[in-house]
Chain A
């Protein structure tokens, strides 16, 4: 029954989940494939937890049901944990080793999970965890973290490497094409260790 490849990208408002989803949509167009997506807009973006659903070859609704995602890409460790239940059994998990504690931790004195604790929980599921912020910095801009993450996940995404790279070049601001191309390729390399 299910024929689409479903990707959930999660993070914190401002981290560039929408651009990442647009890049995947553009890559689908390049390959003349159908695609559906859904994302968080409006006030919810203000530093809140955000999600982008992308269904490659999707012909119906844009939402991925919990437990059905083929791939979960998380730009933050805590958000990986929050959306983890969306991943289907045997699905792939690519996570940025980056943790921003929400202000609720300080304002409501809620106990916060630690970086090592989250990594330990996630590691039961064979995740690919990389320091995308560090890699983005090396590529030339911390803002290219989202493109690093797409590069890291590219091996799992059923789209050609060339289509993804072309989509990156088509969609990022002109002045940053070089940085983002580098970010994408460095993401691919950084993730190679996960799949060797």
Chain B
């Protein structure tokens, strides 16, 4: 079999082609996005695929497809599962006839997320089976089994890779791509699909009765396995299992957990053969709590007694330290080293020529002493510019703004939200703010794409996930339909006009919306937009620093004079800000 060097998400996508999948939906979110990005860009696809407007919408679409007997995949990041939690919980009651796999990608260490929640807890909560890969190869193989398991038990299956699976790479053995022969057909069955109280009570019982069979099958599948070597054991799950396997001495027993729910009697049989068991897993103590329930007098080492952290991501070095502290390893194979101190940090920043930086600049100039609720997207980086005061979850800028405005706060409240986030869960907040008479200004940062997660199209872009041209939504009409009477669209590269629109909004009562519209510089570049670069006339530059304080990565100070590098995308904003007129178009002096 041929091997390929693939990103985890590429291997997962390929496994969907092998299964084969019939229906795919999802909302972009790091680290899950590449699965749909890979599947949607295949020219030979026979499956239906969409980027949905949010995760609840995505899951309900996929659930319906599975009710029609199709194999459906729904992808999202862990926090997206909160948005989809409503259909998730009851889909466990209704079940499915086709295979439904819900990929909820977790992000321990919150590399690119607002929290570190553990999707295994949702599996526990909903009583749905959950597969948790520890390697990319396993992630690939699990996807194929996930569809079969889903069909066998008539339940959605949660697939929970973490960032270190989705965004790591390995040499992967792939199977053959299959063509589906399934045709969707909805068979009416109100007792199954209409969850009125009389129907839902027996469905709940049915869900509970499925549990023992699931546990037994998961052990048979081999995703939970062990080898007995001595009186001490390590139990590990997820990527941490590979860190343990690399270091484990030959006299220590090892159990790997890759699937939930865990069969208690099988677990108990292993645990009770040992005197001491160390449980190593990322985030919630899902395995550890199960082990404690069956441990009896066996000593259990883990999170509850302070050996393993509840938060963050485990690493080879942190796992090594746990193994040393718990007496499994005599010495640490990775002695501690210290990094060079006091280096200037290089966090991610808004691109040179990003519309958000220009908009934030204008907001800060006009709304000097104001509250700035914001939202989730590239523009959360506006924190570095001092114009992001709150971020909690998708769509929570407008709601937090109206809540603050209704709380008696006397300063102006001006919030920022991206186009994709507005369409995800922002509209309801706007509707609510207008209906309840909030005094706020809402700036929709409209770059016409879902940029942060890798430039996925949304209803505002004018194309579908498959590249088919579609009618873009009118944000202006949408806001007016919500009852907003002041809706102004501005080009944020034109600083004066943007500031004038903001001043006008500031002078009015009620909910005011400003749509700051300009293409994302990355998509602009990809679509062939070419603008002349700008340069500094060093004779005119007096080194005042106004331009570098704007924060554009294309501007630097060399020998007390500003200099514009090749990163310049020609947005012209710095030229508008320069008090001496020293910044001019390249070749035009």
Contacts and interface: CB of A to CB of B under 8 A. Distances in A.
A50 to B, nearest CB: 9
A30 B30 CA distance: 31
Given A29-B4, A43-B30, A43-B452, A110 B344 contact: yes
Interface stretch (A18-26, A157-165, A184-192): A18-26
A33 B171 CA distance: 8
A46 B381 CA distance: 10
Interface in A83-100: 83-85
Interface string B330-344: 000111111110011
Interface stretch (B82-90, B498-506, B545-553): B545-553
B167 A41 contact: yes
A34 B171 contact: yes
B357 to A, nearest CB: 11
Interface in A2-43: 2, 12-13, 21-22, 25-26, 28-29, 32-43
A25 B348 contact: no
B497 interface: no
A38 B245 CA distance: 18
Given A106-B551, A106-B555, 15 more contacts: A29-B4, A32-B3, A36-B169, A41-B30, A41-B167, A42-B31, A42-B453, A43-B381, A44-B348, A46-B350, A47-B349, A49-B346, A60-B242, A102-B345, A106-B548
B577 to A, nearest CB: 14
Given A85-B337, A101-B344, A38 B164 contact: yes
A60 B245 contact: yes
Contacts of A85: 337-340
A140 interface: no
B246 interface: yes
A112 interface: yes
A180 B381 CA distance: 35
B514 interface: no
A135 B345 CA distance: 28
Contact of B246 (A43, A60, A67, A78): A60
B320 interface: yes
Interface size class of B (residues with CB under 8 A): 35 or more
Nearest to B170: A36
Contacts of B243: 60-61, 63
B213 interface: no
Contacts of A110: 344-345
Contacts of A83: 339
A61 B239 contact: yes
Chain B, interface SS category: loop
Contacts, number: 172
Given A65-B334, A67-B335, A106-B549, A39 B346 contact: no
A68 B335 CA distance: 9
Given A38-B168, A78-B343, A106 B557 contact: yes
Given A43-B112, A46-B350, A66-B334, A78 B553 contact: no
Contact of A107 (B30, B452, B453, B551): B551
Contacts of B317: 65-66
29 contacts: A2-B333, A12-B346, A22-B169, A26-B5, A28-B5, A29-B5, A35-B5, A36-B170, A36-B171, A42-B167, A44-B111, A47-B351, A48-B347, A49-B345, A60-B243, A61-B316, A65-B315, A65-B317, A66-B334, A67-B334, A67-B335, A78-B346, A84-B340, A85-B337, A85-B340, A102-B346, A103-B553, A106-B545, A106-B557
A1 B334 CA distance: 12
Interface in B66-125: 111-112
A86 B436 CA distance: 56
Contact of B168 (A62, A78, A108, A111): A62
Interface residues of A, number: 59
Contacts of A65: 315-317, 320, 334
A82 to B, nearest CB: 5
A35 B243 CA distance: 15
B435 to A, nearest CB: 34
B378 interface: yes
Interface string B440-475: 000000000000111000000000000000000000
Contact of B171 (A25, A41, A82): A25
Nearest to A89: B337
Nearest to B337: A67
A176 interface: no
Contacts of B348: 13, 43-48
Given A1-B247, A37-B170, A113 B343 contact: yes
Nearest to B246: A60
Q: Which of A34, A43, A59: most chain B Cβ within 10 A?
A: A43
Q: Which of B31, B164, B343: most chain A Cβ within 10 A?
A: B343
A37 B298 CA distance: 37
Contacts of B384: 107
A177 interface: no
B276 interface: no
A107 B164 CA distance: 32
A194 interface: no
A61 B314 CA distance: 11
Top 10 A-B pairs, shortest CB-CB distance:
A25-B5, A48-B348, A42-B30, A37-B169, A60-B246, A62-B168, A67-B337, A61-B242, A38-B168, A102-B346
B488 interface: no
Nearest to B242: A61
